[in-house]
Amino acid sequence: MKSQPNLCAPVPPYVRAGVALAFCLLAVCAARADVEIRGLDDALAANVRALLPMTASSCDSARWRIERLFRDADQKIGEALQALGYYEPAIEKTLAWDEDCWHASFEIVAGAPTLIRSSKIEVLGPGAADPTLLPGVTQPPPAVGKVLNHGAYDNYKSGLLQRAINAGYFDAEYVRSQVTVDRSARAADVELQLQSGSKYVFGTVSFTENILRERLLQGYTNIRPGEPYTPRLISELYEALNGSGYFETVSISTEPLDTAAKVVPVNVDLAPVKRRLYSVGGGFTTDTGLHGRLGYTDRRINDKGHQMESKLFVSPVQSQLDGTYRWPRSNPRREWLSIIAGAQHEDTETSSSDTLKLGILRSRNLGDAWLETRYLNFEYDRYEVADQKTTSQLIIFGNNWEKEKGRTLSRSPGGYRLNFDVRGASDSLGSDTSFLQLQAKARWIHGLGQKTRILTRTTGATTLKDELTELPPSVRYFAGGDRSIRGYDYESLGPVDSNGEVTGGSNLVEASIEFDYLFRDKWAVAVFADTGSAFNGTDIELSTGVGIGLRWYSPVGPIRFDVAHPLDAPDQDFRVHISLGPDF
């Protein structure tokens, strides 16, 4: 849309000041008068004040109008109290005038409340046999012995009707709805009769876009024509399509209803997302140094829903090129297959290695919580650790389970992430050696008010292998660095050889606790303590680092600046750690 020219001339400052003064004088002159209500509890007084016109009248209102409102106040007070079940109020009132304004006072005795004597709530028709209909109403029903509240009655009445409609009884209507008040007995009888009508069933599910095969789209829904209607299945379909990564927008309509056949059609309007994505980035962390990133994603290679992703990461410490080709299986909401390939070069203070990887993964959702990934990888390593320089060929079988909640790109208010991994290789199946590894990781974030959080993480891992020197660095354990034990260099902690060079361990234990405080928007300070060790057997020598940090929650994710000191090496200097990425 083109911007329009400003056709208004600037307003002089003295004019603006005069207008402001006029509004101030008007506010003073139009000040509300004093209306005092005494003798009622807070709930009754609030309802009286809300329905009494005098409370909204100002001092400059005409005298004849105020006197008329004062005269009619008894009726308005009675209506306000009757709405909450009080039909016999006693009211004493006064109205006084002075030079500046008027003042009204109401002394009210509400009297005895009207109690519900009987409450008859019925669902007629097919809905009478539906065990979820009445219990599903969120508003409490009018109960015998309770004070009559017409507002609560109306809320329950509308809630029951809406519940019936949501449950698929689209023709539901009241055949009887009344409250009978017996003033002499201070009692009320409530009667509601809802005729549910027939329960509607689902019709066919139709999709308007044609970039993906109909069979694939139908795999995102659990709706079957002829099954009873439930809004839960509509919500699940929306969430599944919206989270598939194929569509920019998802819109689902159930109109028009087929009232003759009692059928609900499901029409899904889909707008495809941009097919190709390119990304370029860079940064600096103390683990990898200055680095650059390139990425390419094709989110829709064909109408079968196949996807491809490639990433290039380059830094002085680690460089990596990865590619993934993935496609959905018969149930695209829960199961995918992927082929991965990659090459990596790593040169740290403790080892250097070149790794080639080729693998296949099968990922599936176990219910709504856990993601299970089974994988088979072929890995070829050429590496050097301490004085050992050799090659390794492994065919690794593994199974991974992951569950997370509360993950966000920015500052997570709370949540957790659990990860368990089992992997191994066998020399009888083409590997140079045999081993088995078990690993468990957990991260937990808990909010302490609006600005303070506690963040904890722990890792435990072990390797079942007699000779660790037969394994490449990629399957050995090291500790130290930005995401491990701060205060120490990247992968600088672990068992050492006779020359004091770190060789990596068969076991790993790490733990961390951190408190951070958001002192202004997008900025937080933190204090932390990390401890852990990479070790062989049971020879554990924990290394601990403590420090303080600064957090900036940037548009691309949190950036952390930490200063840490190793407690078991007091002669060493403080170490600065810079890292980025989400909390999980």
Q: Domain spanning 201-272: which superfamily?
A: membrane protein fhac (3.10.20.310)
Instruction: Read off the pLDDT band of 253 (50, 70, 90).
Output: very high
Taking only the tens place, the pLDDT of each residue in 431-473 is: 999 999 999 999 999 999 899 999 999 999 999 998 888 999 9
Taking only the tens place, the pLDDT of each residue in 323-356 is: 999 999 989 999 999 999 999 999 998 899 999 9
Q: What pLDDT sits at residue 134? A: 86
What's the rounded Cα separation, in Å, for the pair 409 and 221?
29
Q: What pLDDT sits at residue 6? A: 38
What average pLDDT does this structure show over 287-292? Answer: 90
DSSP string computed for 31-69: PBPEEEEESS-HHHHHHHHHH-GGGG-BTTS-HHHHHHH
Above 80 in pLDDT, residue 322?
yes
Q: Where in the chain is the domain with CATH 3.10.20.310?
A: 28-109, 115-195, 201-272
Above 90 in pLDDT, residue 26?
no
Q: What pLDDT sits at residue 31? A: 58
Taking only the tens place, the pLDDT of each residue in 544-560 is: 999 999 999 998 889 99
Above 50 in pLDDT, residue 291?
yes
* Token pair for 420: 């368990």
DSSP string computed for 408-451: -SS--SSEEEEEEEEEEE-GGGT-SS-EEEEEEEEEEEEEETTT
Q: Where in the chain is the domain with CATH 2.40.160.50?
A: 276-580
Taking only the tens place, the pLDDT of each residue in 49-106 is: 999 999 989 998 899 999 999 999 999 999 999 999 999 999 999 999 988 899 999 9
Taking only the tens place, the pLDDT of each residue in 162-181 is: 999 999 999 999 999 999 99
- pLDDT higher for 26 or 156? 156
Give me the residues paired with residue 108 across strands.
91
Reading phi first (left if > 0) and then psi (alpha if -120 to 50, else beta), residue 577 is in beta
Single-letter code of the amino acid located at 276: R
* Token pair for 459: 């890792």
- CA distances to 18, 270, 311, 350, 573 from 354, rounded to whole Å, are 78, 45, 17, 14, 32
Percent of the chain whose predicted confidence (pLDDT) is above 90: 79
Q: Specify the CATH number for 276-580; select among 2.40.160.50, 1.10.287.110, 2.40.160.10, 3.30.70.2190.
A: 2.40.160.50
- pLDDT higher for 510 or 4? 510
Q: What is the DSSP letter of 169?
A: -
Q: What pLDDT sits at residue 5? A: 37
**Count, residues in the chain:** 584
Provide the 3-class DSSP secondary structure of residue 232. helix
Q: Domain spanning 28-109: which superfamily?
A: membrane protein fhac (3.10.20.310)
What average pLDDT does this structure show over 386-404? Answer: 95
Q: What pLDDT sits at residue 267? A: 95
| pTM beyond cutoff 0.85 | no
Q: What pLDDT sits at residue 485? A: 96
Above 60 in pLDDT, residue 19?
no
What average pLDDT does this structure show over 491-504? Answer: 91
Percent of the chain whose predicted confidence (pLDDT) is above 70: 95
- CA distances to 35, 165, 171, 189, 554 from 121, rounded to whole Å, are 41, 17, 18, 11, 56
Contacts of 518 (CB under 8 A, 6+ apart): 411, 450, 451, 452, 524
Mean pLDDT of the chain: 90
CB 66 within 8 A of CB 56: no
What average pLDDT does this structure show over 473-501? Answer: 92
DSSP string computed for 514-565: EEEEEEETTEEEEEEEEEEEEESTT----EEEEEEEEEEEETTEEEEEEEEE
Q: What pLDDT sits at residue 83? A: 94
Above 60 in pLDDT, residue 140?
yes
Taking only the tens place, the pLDDT of each residue in 207-224 is: 987 789 999 999 999 999
Instruction: Read off the pLDDT band of 32 (50, 70, 90).
Output: low
Above 60 in pLDDT, residue 198?
yes
What's the rounded Cα separation, in Å, for the pair 575 and 563?
6
Q: Using alpha carbons, select from 397, 380, 398, 390 the residue that is nearest to residue 469.
A: 390
Q: 115-195 — its CATH code?
A: 3.10.20.310
